[in-house]
Amino acid sequence: MENTVTVTIDGITVKVKPTATILEAAKAAGVRIPVLCADDKLHPYGSCRICIVEIEKSPRKFTPSCTTPVTDNMSVKTMTPDLAEARKRILELLLNNHPLDCPICDKAGSCQLQDLVHEYGLGPSKFTEKKRTVAPSYHSNVIDREVSRCVLCGKCVRVCREQNAVGELAFTRRGDKSKVSTDFDQPLDCEFCGECVEICPVGALTTKQFKFKGRTWNLERIQSVCNYCGCGCRTSFETRLGRIVRVRSGARNYLCSKGRFGWDAVHHQDRLTTPLVRVSGELVPATWDEALAMVVTNLNVIKNKKGADSIGGLGSVRTTNEESYLFQKFMRTVVGTNNVDLLARLKVPKGLNTVFFSGELSKISDHDAVLVLDGDVGELNPLMGIEIVRAVNRNYKKLVLVNSGFNKFNRLASVVLDYLAPEAALADLLPAMKSGKGGDRVVAAAAILKEAASVAVIIPGRTTDKEFSQIKELLSLLKGVTTYPIVRRSNLQGAMDMGVLPDYYPGYQKVGSDTMNRFAGSWDAILPEAPGLNALEMLAGIKTGKVSALYIMGDDPAGSDRGLKDILNKLEFLVVQDIFLTETAKLADVVLPACSWAEKYGTVTSLERRLQQVSRAEEPLGESKPDWDIIQTLARKMGGPMHYGTPADILNEIRSMVPLYADLAMGGIWARERSPLAGADMDLSLWSDTVMKNEVITADRLLFSSGTMIGRSREISTLCRTKAEV
Amino acid sequence: MEKMLLKRVDIPNSADIDVAMKNGAYSTLATAFGMRPVDVVNEVKRANLRGRGGAGFPTGLKWELCSRVPGSLKYLLCNADEGEPGTFKDRFILLQDPHLLIEGMIISGFAIGAERGYIYLRYEYPTALVVLEKAIEQAYAKGYLGKNILGKGVNFDLSVHRGAGAYICGEETALIESLEGKRGQPRIRPPFPASQGAWRKPTVINNVETLSNIPYLIAMGADAYAKIGAETAPGPKLYGVSGMVNKPGVYELPMGTTLRDIIYTHCGGVRGGKKLKAIIPGGASTPILTEQHLDVTMDFNSLVAAGSMLGSGAVMVMDETVNMVNVAYVLVRFFAHESCGKCTPCREGTSWLYQVYKRLMHGEGKLDDIDLLLYICDTVKGKCFCPLGEGAIQPVLSSIKHFRGDYEQWIKSGKSAHV
Ligand SMILES: Cc1cc2nc3c(=O)[nH]c(=O)nc-3n(C[C@H](O)[C@H](O)[C@H](O)COP(=O)(O)O)c2cc1C
Ligand code: SF4
Ligand code: SF4
Ligand code: SF4
Ligand code: SF4
Ligand code: FES
């Protein structure tokens, strides 16, 4: 057993680790000590002094609890008349130069200073001198700094440096002239995660997006999940009169710029509000009945004429699990083809869901060493990047970095392997691992990796065949490996789990006669026997005339690759279901308006394979409908028996069909061993030398880019402009 | 007493290595290297040498803590920030006998197992920078610094790091932050520098005067050394006397010399035969004493018993013409200016005190302001992150305690001083 010490806090005795602070011991004892500058996310700092306590038999009258380690048999009092008076005095000092403009402060109601002053009941102040004021700074994008409200707790400075490794904020000047500032007071030029705003105990840092949008006590909070990358950060939609006014982290963990500010895409004017149909070459508004009838007729005609396999379906990484499930079920049971796939498979690591399964992100820092094979990890999966920083800055773990450029991870790394591609780095690292020979850097890297009893390995989002085999070999040389494949696309995991794949039913059950019979039985349908065309084969099939119609749900291939426009134009019939009139939708014969992420219920599965609940924060815009509802209405019109009242009904069916989800609790992770493909040396990704060859960047920094949605966020687009001006 | 620390300072060109060597510099290296490092540490412990930077922490104990931490990379830092108002004793050694300090650092580094040393030098000592760098260059040339010193396998590298003009960087952990290129603010302790200091490696920080004692202490041995000065804090002490005395300057006297001796015997008494009014015994943050304390001996324990502190041994003498409100004002202004701004009580408290004093000096004071000053001091007291804040209220408290009459008179007079 780990050794512990005994501490008494206000008469309550607890046993804690010898390294615990008094504040932590108090928490363990269930005693609350007020704090301003302390935060679980950060190293202790001890600047505000509000957390002082009295220790029995100490030569000091007051001791700060957040920075003082416990000692055995220590006895602490957290509230005495002297402490109450002392804390009052500290608060009085903090208010001396505070503007007290609570009526127009966005923080009022959730301000820790306001709450403490209220709790300790300050009377009139003895301070009668002139208040010091500092000019606010409104010249940054997204974030405003009301400098006079700052209590100089340093949390913003520390979160930006310790958690983000960005270090955009720092103190300048000293004494009562100290202030939080940027280099030479220039506008922020950072990751714009807003973590500094989130952690500020007062209203000194605020967002432009939320300014004057509501009082915090009037907001409703709806827990949901971010849909901008595979990390699956928990979010809290904050609404006022049924409209989102702010998004915050739902778990007090982290949100990147996209997760925190990018939600405003749902309010973008380009949102589709009615179905559109093509009449004499033009897309014109139509009723749902008209639009769906047109889909039914055309699909039936093509199916009768050319067979079901001349129709294909491209699913989405932005829809819920329920919607992905219904989409493939619709294609398989109603249209009658296995031609259903995800173009996003072009953008995933080789071996995902077979060789590489992700560990829990929060456990990256439990490993002795972290090996990053893609220096862009922080741009592609921001939370994964943060967890790597935490491993180094909080847990003092070693980082081996493969990076051709220079970014924040270079400053954290114990060893940097500066190679143009992982392939070249691995070509040197592998021999060094085996023989201990090579250049200084690879030898140093190999030494760290060999010494580590456990290694977290960040797998690049895209790998060549060579790299795939090199990585597999490397993993066999390491101890205690957990892989962390970079999965940029939000619900890719869920869409794959749900069988939006031409050769797998939901749950990675291979299309074959035995599985076919089982699914056919449960779905009460006749199923096509042969595996379908994959996404690339479908595109190729358009050219050869093999594929005549496509149903694209929530994806914009033409927007990602302009060259696909000509191909899609060759189709006899194209249905696009989306929330915006995307480049692809502009080519469609029928456009079906889906409602946004924030307007529906359902579940998603993060790259950790964690099942998460998505919740509705707003009513669907105009006539838009959730994707699942559109699909089932269409299915019914085509004679398929789909009658789901809510997404929960669909999830129940998924649980009955997909063993991986059978007893998966909300928030739980499905165990990799249970996948039929676990450990198989195979590759579920797609590779093309032409289609979507380059990552489409909708911003000048990968971090601010994520395609269709984020491109329509006003807040995020301001960030891209800043960089463009520089 | 025969001079030790200041033995060479009056010799012309004493900062030159040849002159210094002719007068004994570097002669103790051989003795030290002939001992085991642990014996050097023990010798310092036995001599009961206490740090001369202000806190009076036993040097041997500090060294022992550091030398016991496993690991080969350790640092020895010399605190030459000398920022406390009234303090100018270290400068004397830095300018006149840099080789004494360097020799002390080589031996100290040997004792604790540090092969890398830095002298953190006050920004406002540009001449000392030139002198030190020259001296270090000479010591390298003679093989006293660098690899394999005296062929004994001892390595020690030394360089000067210039501060950027902040008093707080004299505080040891702020000094480390500054040395690492960070903002000068004190760090949380624990971990103490002895276990995790500069770049998180075991580190010893000693004052210039402390380190300069080492060659003599080792040369004469702990027993002889311990016979000098006060029993609780043996050795010679540099007292830097300034203010209204006839002969201000740096005096090397046995630790524990009385204030009366220092002021009247050595410094020739109060200037112009005026009446002594107040004494600040150890630099700006030590409580003010009065003539009734003249027989207090100047060592750590006696001064604490008398309600003050030895601090850096910077004695400031004021005669009857001085207005103590003005004195407190000047000192408070210093602390408000030098507060690093990290913690609430010091940052806001010193700023508030300063504003009240400014009002007093402008003739806008009220009698209630005296109580207000005490109220602010009480607010700050015992809650600061580092000793700067606690020291900042001392001039206020002690001037009001001993000279409340000055405040009342000044406020009632309605006079305004040009400040
Ligand atoms: C605000 C403040 C300023 C200080 N300035 C100095 C200084 O200028 N020089 C110095 O030697 N010690 C200074 N000290 C003391 C150091 O923190 C430290 O105790 C000393 O360098 C240790 O050396 P010593 O043990 O040899 O005295 C200061 C302490 C504080 C709190
Ligand atoms: S928005 Fe994020 S990166 Fe920018 S200063 Fe704040 S914490 Fe740092
Ligand atoms: S801006 Fe906020 S978080 Fe930053 S130091 Fe000021 S009060 Fe603290
Ligand atoms: S890291 Fe990914 S999931 Fe988290 S907020 Fe950013 S985009 Fe969303
Ligand atoms: S007491 Fe606080 S504000 Fe003052 S110098 Fe020390 S840490 Fe800085
Ligand atoms: S919470 Fe402990 S000093 Fe701020």
pLDDT digits (tens, 9 = 90+) for B336-390: 999 999 999 999 999 999 999 999 999 999 999 999 999 999 999 999 999 999 9
Return the residue whose CA atom lies nearest to atom 6 of ligand 5. B386
Q: How far is the CA of B168 from the centre of ligand 1 (A)?
A: 9
- Burial group, residue B290, by CB count within 10 angstroms (0-12, 13-18, 19+): middle
Q: How far is the CA of B51 from the centre of ligand 1 (A)?
A: 9
Q: What distance, in Å, lies between the first and last C-alpha atoms of chain B?
A: 43
Domain-embedded: residue B5: no
What domain range is B386 assigned to?
324-411
Secondary structure letter of residue A65 according to DSSP: T
- Cβ distance of A174 and B190 shorter than 8 Å: no
User: Probe ligand 1: pick from B48, B79, B82, B286, max atoms within 8 Å of CB?
Assistant: B79
Q: Is the CB of A219 under 6 A from ligand 2?
A: no
Return the residue whose CA atom lies nearest to atom 8 of ligand 2. A160
Domain boundary among B195, B226, B257: B226
For residues A20 and A70, what is the distance between their CA atoms, to the nearest angstrom? 6
Name the residue type at position A138. Y
- Residues with Cβ within 8 Å of B398's Cβ and at least 6 positions away in sequence, in order, are B287, B288, B289, B307, B308
For residues A111 and A102, what is the distance between their CA atoms, to the nearest angstrom? 9
Please name which of A693, A692, A675 lies closest in space to residue A351, comparing C-alpha atoms. A675
- Cβ distance of B384 and A96 shorter than 8 Å: no
**Number of folded domains that form chain B:** 3
Per the CB < 8 A criterion, the answer to whether B177 and B161 are in contact is no
- Cβ distance of B344 and A177 shorter than 8 Å: no
Please name which of B349, B373, B346 lies closest in space to residue B361, comparing C-alpha atoms. B373
Residues from chain A that touch B347, judged by Cβ atoms under 8 A, are: 152, 175-176, 178
Q: How far is the CA of B258 from the centre of ligand 1 (A)?
A: 23
Mean pLDDT estimate for chain B:
97
- Cβ distance of B188 and A152 shorter than 8 Å: no
Q: How far is the CA of A66 from the centre of ligand 6 (A)?
A: 5
Strand-pairing partners, residue B50, are: B58
Question: B340 and B278, same structural domain?
Answer: no
For residues A616 and A593, what is the distance between their CA atoms, to the nearest angstrom? 17
Interface-testing mutation among A176, A181, A392, A393, with chain B (most B C-beta atoms within 10 A): A176
Q: Around Cβ A477, how many Cβ atoms within 10 Å?
A: 15
Q: Is the CB of A160 under 6 A from ligand 2?
A: yes
- Of A62, A129, A178, which has the smallest distance from its Cβ to B382's Cβ? A62
For residues B388 and A527, what is the distance between their CA atoms, to the nearest angstrom? 81
Domain-embedded: residue B417: no
Extract the tokens encoding B61. 């104990």
Question: B204 and B111, same structural domain?
Answer: yes
Question: Would you say residue B77 has pLDDT above 70?
Answer: yes
- Residues with Cβ within 8 Å of A118's Cβ and at least 6 positions away in sequence, in order, are none
Domain boundary among B319, B337, B371: B319
Beta strands in A499-655, from DSSP E residues, in sequence order:
504-505, 509-510, 549-553, 573-578, 590-593, 602-605, 611-614
Per the CB < 8 A criterion, the answer to whether B318 and B272 are in contact is no
Instruction: Provide the phi-psi class of A411: left if phi over 0, else alpha when psi is between -120 and 50, else beta.
Output: alpha
- Cβ distance of B379 and A92 shorter than 8 Å: yes
- Of B168, B188, B350, which has the smallest distance from its Cβ to A46's Cβ? B188
- Cβ distance of A96 and B340 shorter than 8 Å: no
Q: Is the CB of A188 under 6 A from ligand 2?
A: yes
Domain-embedded: residue B7: no
Q: How far is the CA of A380 from the centre of ligand 4 (A)?
A: 9
Question: B303 and B172, same structural domain?
Answer: no
Extract the tokens encoding B117. 């040393």
Kindly report each contact of residues B131-134 with a partner whose C-beta sits within 8 Å and lies 24 or more positions away, as own/partner.
Answer: B131/B15, B131/B94, B131/B95, B131/B98, B132/B94, B132/B98, B132/B160, B133/B160, B134/B15, B134/B98
Question: Would you say residue B400 has pLDDT above 50?
Answer: yes
> HEC string of A154-170?
CHHHHHHHHHCCCCCCE
Question: B257 and B111, same structural domain?
Answer: no
Cα-atom radius of gyration of chain B, to the nearest Å? 22
CATH number of the domain to which B153 belongs: 3.40.50.11540
Instruction: Provide the phi-psi class of A679: left if phi over 0, else alpha when psi is between -120 and 50, else beta.
Output: left
Name the residue type at position A383. L
Please name which of A269, A50, A265, A17 lies closest in space to residue A153, comparing C-alpha atoms. A50
Atom number of ligand 2 nearest to Cα A182: 5
Residues from chain B that touch A49, judged by Cβ atoms under 8 A, are: 343-345, 383-385
Domain-embedded: residue B198: yes
Q: Are strands A311-314 and A340-341 parallel, antiparallel or unpaired?
A: parallel
Residues from chain B that touch A134, judged by Cβ atoms under 8 A, are: none
Phi, psi (rounded to 5 degrees) for A276: -125, 140
Q: Are strands A549-553 and A573-578 parallel, antiparallel or unpaired?
A: parallel
For residues A145 and B357, what is the distance between their CA atoms, to the nearest angstrom? 32
Ligand nearest to the CA of residue A231, numbered in listed order: 4
Which domains does chain A possess? 5-79 (3.10.20.740), 96-267 (3.30.70.20), 276-347+491-598+619-644 (3.40.50.740), 361-486 (3.40.228.10)
Name the residue type at position B88. F
Instruction: Provide the phi-psi class of A673: left if phi over 0, else alpha when psi is between -120 and 50, else beta.
Output: alpha
Ligand nearest to the CA of residue A710, numbered in listed order: 4
Secondary structure letter of residue A263 according to DSSP: G
For residues A234 and A252, what is the distance between their CA atoms, to the nearest angstrom? 9
Question: B330 and B267, same structural domain?
Answer: no
Closest residue on chain B to A53 (Cα): B383
CATH number of the domain to which B286 belongs: 3.10.20.600
Extract the tokens encoding A187. 């506008």
Q: Are strands A481-485 and A398-402 parallel, antiparallel or unpaired?
A: unpaired
Q: Any residues with Cβ below 6 Å from ligand 4, and which?
A: A 226, 228-229, 231-233, 255-256, 258-259, 382-383
Question: B193 and B134, same structural domain?
Answer: yes
Q: How far is the CA of A92 from the centre of ligand 3 (A)?
A: 18
Extract the tokens encoding A522. 């449960």
Q: Around Cβ A73, how many Cβ atoms within 10 Å?
A: 12
Closest residue on chain B to A45 (Cα): B188
Q: How many CB pairs under 8 A join A and B?
A: 96
Residues from chain A that touch B343, judged by Cβ atoms under 8 A, are: 46-49
Q: How far is the CA of A204 from the centre of ligand 6 (A)?
A: 18
For chain A, which residues lie within 8 Å of any Cβ of chain B, measuring from their own Cβ?
A: 44-50, 52, 60-62, 64, 67, 69, 86, 89-90, 92-94, 96-97, 126-127, 129-130, 132, 151-152, 154, 170-171, 173-178
For residues A94 and A88, what is the distance between their CA atoms, to the nearest angstrom? 10
Q: Around Cβ A57, how many Cβ atoms within 10 Å?
A: 7
Helices B394-413 and B324-338 pack at an angle, to 10 degrees, of 130
Domain boundary among B226, B260, B281: B226
Query: Residues in chain A with pLDDT < 50?
Result: 722-726
Question: B343 and B205, same structural domain?
Answer: no
Question: B209 and B116, same structural domain?
Answer: yes
Question: B250 and B137, same structural domain?
Answer: no
Chain centroid to Cα A253, Å, comes to: 11
For residues B65 and B57, what is the distance between their CA atoms, to the nearest angstrom? 12
Per the CB < 8 A criterion, the answer to whether A294 and A601 are in contact is no
Q: How far is the CA of A47 from the centre of ligand 5 (A)?
A: 9
Q: Are strands A170-172 and A179-181 parallel, antiparallel or unpaired?
A: antiparallel
Domain-embedded: residue B6: no
Closest residue on chain B to A171 (Cα): B183
- Cβ distance of B352 and A127 shorter than 8 Å: yes
For residues B62 and B74, what is the distance between their CA atoms, to the nearest angstrom? 13
For residues A170 and A128, what is the distance between their CA atoms, to the nearest angstrom? 30
Q: Is the CB of B206 under 6 A from ligand 5?
A: no
Return the residue whose CA atom lies nearest to atom 6 of ligand 4. A256
Strand-pairing partners, residue A604, are: A612
Domain-embedded: residue B10: no
pLDDT of residue A2: 67
CATH number of the domain to which B358 belongs: 1.20.1440.230
Please name which of A323, A282, A224 lies closest in space to residue A577, comparing C-alpha atoms. A323
Please name which of B23, B29, B22, B18 lies closest in space to residue B6, comparing C-alpha atoms. B23
Question: B369 and B299, same structural domain?
Answer: no
Question: B303 and B337, same structural domain?
Answer: no
For residues A618 and A597, what is the distance between their CA atoms, to the nearest angstrom? 10
* H/E segment holding residue A409: helix A408-412
- Burial group, residue A306, by CB count within 10 angstroms (0-12, 13-18, 19+): middle
pLDDT of residue A706: 61
For residues A60 and A660, what is the distance between their CA atoms, to the nearest angstrom? 59
Closest residue on chain B to A69 (Cα): B190
Q: Any residues with Cβ below 6 Å from ligand 1, and which?
A: B 51-55, 57, 59, 79, 81-84, 168, 170-172, 205-207, 210, 386-388
For residues A626 and A607, what is the distance between their CA atoms, to the nearest angstrom? 23
pLDDT of residue A690: 86
Name the residue type at position B199. W
Please name which of A252, A263, A159 lies closest in space to residue A207, comparing C-alpha atoms. A263
Per the CB < 8 A criterion, the answer to whether A640 and A336 are in contact is no
Domain-embedded: residue B399: yes
Secondary structure letter of residue A291 according to DSSP: H
Q: Are strands A590-593 and A573-578 parallel, antiparallel or unpaired?
A: parallel
- Cβ distance of A178 and B347 shorter than 8 Å: yes
For residues A501 and A505, what is the distance between their CA atoms, to the nearest angstrom? 7
Q: Around Cβ A439, how many Cβ atoms within 10 Å?
A: 11
Question: B114 and B222, same structural domain?
Answer: yes
Domain-embedded: residue B347: yes
Q: Are strands B276-280 and A455-459 parallel, antiparallel or unpaired?
A: unpaired
- Cβ distance of A174 and B166 shorter than 8 Å: yes
